[in-house]
Amino acid sequence: MTYKLIRSSRKTVSVEVRADGVTVRAPMKMPASEIEKFVRKHEKWIEKNVKKVEEQKGSLAGVPPLTKEEIRALAERAARYIPERAAFYAPKIGVGYAKITIRCQRTKWGSCSAKGNLNFNCLLMLAPPEAIDSVVVHELCHRKEMNHSDRFYSEVLRVFPEYKKWDRWLKDNGAAILARAGEGK
């Protein structure tokens, strides 16, 4: 199995399957044999997801990319809508945040910096409101836990009990939305 290997200061190994291929992320000093062992252990999962991504790519063949004007309009809508949702959920979580930035991205729905800045993808405006809320809550919860630990997900689910349903929706439908970024970005 071929994959792109990215080494960094991380502590664990992970694998990601996307339209552009399989990426394995590993700690700097982890031996290659350990990485190979990890990949072999997860081979069935990787193959299943590669197949799924290929099927999604096929179903996206006729989806037209958004124009620059359409992306700009989505960004303007997101700049009004998403800060309102963040202001709604932040007190429920008991956190604050610095600034909110809206971008058009091909891979991420949102992120949270150590300084408390929140970033969101304008393409979220093509998703149902509940999916948008799931991303807003996810990023705000990073203000309490800058990781994806059990404590982090407990907080997410406390505030947004339907998180898993809408996270699944984004996983199942997100590729079609993200593909619309096309060259209009």
Phi, psi of 64 (to 5 degrees): -75, 140
CA-derived radius of gyration, the chain: 18
pLDDT digits (tens, 9 = 90+) for 76-101: 999 999 999 999 999 999 999 999 99
Is 40 part of a structural domain of the chain? yes
Residue 184 has pLDDT above 60, yes or no: no
- From CA 76, how far away is CA 176, in angstroms rounded? 21
Percent of the chain with pLDDT over 90: 72
Domain contains 184: no
Strand order across the 100-103 sheet: 100-103, 118-121, 110-112
Could you tell me if 55 and 82 lie in one domain?
no
Same domain, yes or no, for 88 and 51? no
Mean pLDDT of the region 106-132: 94
Asked whether residue 47 carries a pLDDT value surpassing 60, the answer given is: yes
153 and 117 fall within a common domain: yes
For residues 122 and 34, membership in a common domain is answered with no
pLDDT for 185 equals: 43
- The residue ranges of DSSP E strands in 75-176, in sequence order, are 100-103, 110-112, 118-121
48 and 136 belong to one structural domain: no
Residue 60's pLDDT is 54
* 81-89, Cβ contacts within 8 angstroms, sequence gap of 24 or more: 81/125, 81/132, 82/120, 82/124, 82/132, 82/136, 85/132, 85/133, 85/136, 86/118, 86/136, 86/140, 89/133, 89/136, 89/137, 89/140, 89/159, 89/160
Based on the fold, state whether residues 50 and 11 are members of the same structural domain.
Answer: yes
- Read off the pTM: 0.73
Number of domains in the chain: 2
Is 84 in the same domain as 159?
yes
pLDDT of the residue at 99: 96
Q: Which domain holds residue 40?
A: 4-59
CB-based contacts of 92, cutoff 8 Å, min separation 6 = 159
Average pLDDT value for the chain? 91
Q: Are residues 47 and 82 in the same domain?
A: no
